[in-house]
Amino acid sequence: MTNVVLKHLSRRFGDHLAVRDLNLEIASGEMVAFLGPSGCGKTTTLRMITGLIQPTSGDVLFDGESVVGIPTERRGAVMVFQKHLLFPTMNVADNVGFGLKMAGVEKPEIARRVDEILELVELPGLGDRKAHELSGGQQQRVALARALVVHPQVLLLDEPLANLDANLRITMRHLIRTIQRELGITAIFVTHDQEEAVMLADRVALMFDGVVQQVGEPNSFYKRPATARVAQFFRNSNFLPGQRTGNVVTTSVGDVEVDPDLVPEGSGHVVLTVRPEEVQPVLDGSTEGNVVPATIESVIYMGSYTQLEARIGDETWNVQTSAAFMPKDGETVMLRLPREHLWIVRDDSSEEGAVAS
Ligand SMILES: Nc1ncnc2c1ncn2[C@@H]1O[C@H](COP(=O)(O)OP(=O)(O)OP(=O)(O)O)[C@@H](O)[C@H]1O
Ligand SMILES: [Mg+2]
């Protein structure tokens, strides 16, 4: 079991600061996902942890000891690359068993462990096939098998499921999670797919532009996004600005009450946010409990629910309601913003490098 600490980790390429002052502690046996849009610095971070590149400044510690300067092969960390790098003319079994051979494991033991792991990644009997004779998804699974078979202390996965079809992706997610838990491997997983991060990880670190924006358990990103950009990344584009006094926020569509036990203290300009599925249409004429008027801009019937675009003040909101609620385009309806689902985000929408929704 190994714990990994990243301390003030930064990496510059020429003028470009690809990773900025990253601080994170990953517990022994924990699985953390680095999530973020293309180019935000995920792979660069993994490469610094494995030792494939050196940090410009900062430190990487395994169990309290700095590993900067220690060669990759002596760190006990194994990386599965975004572009899987198999030895193309070697057969699958030799590819998978390569690390064990280097470690001096006896041949029959290598054969046994290779067979076992190929079974696990659902490639039984493919041991004799040359790597270049496999499909992209098969190669990806061989790369995964090759990393897992050595029982690494720290496993670094750079979008290892990117080339797989939807069903295989799900199977492989479960497989990675099961093996990682069983062996108590500390794992860091890179993805730009929020669903994958949420399903696999104990904790998620969301990065934009080389900077970690928020670290937390998966559901904290849905329920407690730190900023408007974080909320947008998790497909919550419903925002309503206002002036806060105590627990009341005065907005262009009326006063809205927040729960002081949930939201941080503060006053002045704030931005409220609520997830699309938490907004409730009010059908009984009630005006109690944060009811605001909205003009329907589009209605899409999705089978099990209705997807609405609704204008609230100057904002266009996405709202998901029961399929029984089918207002007309242009109609004014009343919507309740339940106090227990209202959250306040920091307004970073105009900051440098803001992501489009
Ligand atoms: N060797 C390099 N030389 C110069 N710039 C680099 C190098 N490697 C990465 N970069 C730049 O650093 C930034 C971060 O790259 P990185 O590969 O870490 O992104 P990523 O988050 O893994 O993206 P993706 O999801 O597309 O794989 C990018 O702007 C990239 O162009
Ligand atoms: Mg990458």
The CATH number for 292's domain is: 2.40.50.140
Q: Quote the CA–CA distance of 321 and 280 in Å, as a whole number.
A: 7
Q: Are residues 105 and 202 in the same domain?
A: yes
Q: What are phi and psi of 63, to 5 degrees?
A: 50, 45
Residue type, 53: I
Residues 168 and 64 in one domain: yes
Q: What is the pLDDT of residues 174-222, one digit of tens each?
A: 888 988 898 899 999 999 889 899 999 999 999 999 999 999 999 999 9
CATH (domain of 63): 3.40.50.300
Overall average pLDDT of the 151-155 stretch: 90
DSSP strand pairing (186-191 vs 31-35)? parallel
Could you report the per-residue pLDDT of 28-51, keeping only the tens digit for each? 999 999 999 999 999 999 999 999
The predicted pLDDT at position 88 comes to 85
351 found inside a domain: no
Give the domain range for residue 297: 240-345
Query: Is the domain of 161 the same as that of 303?
Result: no
- Same domain as 248, residue 213: no
Residues 189 and 88 in one domain: yes
> How does pLDDT run across 16-32, given as a tens digit for each residue?
999 999 999 999 999 99
Ligand 2 centroid to 46 CA: how many Å?
9
Chain mean pLDDT for the chain: 92
pLDDT score of 355: 45
Decide: 20 in ligand 1 pocket, CB within 6 A. Answer: no
- Give the pLDDT band of residue 351 (cuts 50, 70, 90): low
pLDDT score of 337 more than 60: yes
- Centre of ligand 1 from the C-alpha of residue 30, in Å: 25
Determine, yes or no, domain membership for 353. Answer: no
Query: Ligand 1 mean position to 41 CA, how many Å?
Result: 6
Does the structure show a pLDDT above 50 at 329? yes
CA 13 to ligand 1 centroid distance, Å: 9
Amino acid at site 214 = Q
Same-domain check for residues 200 and 248: no
Q: What is the mean pLDDT of residues 137-156?
A: 89
The verdict on residue 219 lying in a domain is: yes
Our mutation pick for probing the ligand 1 site, out of 9, 12, 16, counting the most ligand atoms within 8 A of Cβ, is 16
In 3D, which of 178, 228, 201, 196 has the Cα closest to residue 345? Answer: 228
Within this chain, do residues 252 and 217 fall inside the same structural domain, yes or no?
no
Share of the chain above pLDDT 70, in %: 97
**Total structural domains within the chain:** 2
Q: With respect to residue 357, please indicate whether it lies within any of the assigned structural domains.
A: no
As to burial, measured by CB atoms within 10 angstroms (0-12 exposed, 13-18 middle, 19+ buried), residue 4 is buried
pLDDT at 229 over 80: yes
Query: What would the mean pLDDT of 70-93 be, rounded to a whole number?
Result: 86
247 and 219 in one domain? Answer: no
Match 């997983």 to its residue by tokens.
189
Cα separations (Å) of 120 from 81, 134, 140? 19, 17, 13
pTM of the model: 0.88
Domain boundary among 197, 223, 249: 223
- Contact between 123 and 92 (Cβ < 8 Å): yes
For residue 324, give the DSSP letter: T
Residue 356 included in any domain:
no
Q: How far apart are the first and last CA of the chain?
A: 40
Nearest of 192, 326, 340, 195 to residue 258 by alpha carbon: 340
Are residue 324 and residue 256 in the same domain, yes or no?
Answer: yes
User: Would you say the CB of residue 42 lies under 6 angstroms from ligand 1?
Assistant: yes
d(CA 313, CA 252): 6
Alpha carbons 243 and 192: distance in angstroms, whole number: 35
In a domain, residue 352? The reply is no
Tens of pLDDT, residues 239-278: 999 999 999 999 999 999 999 999 988 899 999 999 999 9
**Listed residues 167, 198, 223: the one ending a domain:** 223
Residues 134, 281 within the same domain: no
Q: Are residues 189 and 266 in the same domain?
A: no
Do 219 and 250 lie in a common domain?
Answer: no
Cβ-based neighbour number of residue 74 at 10 Å: 9
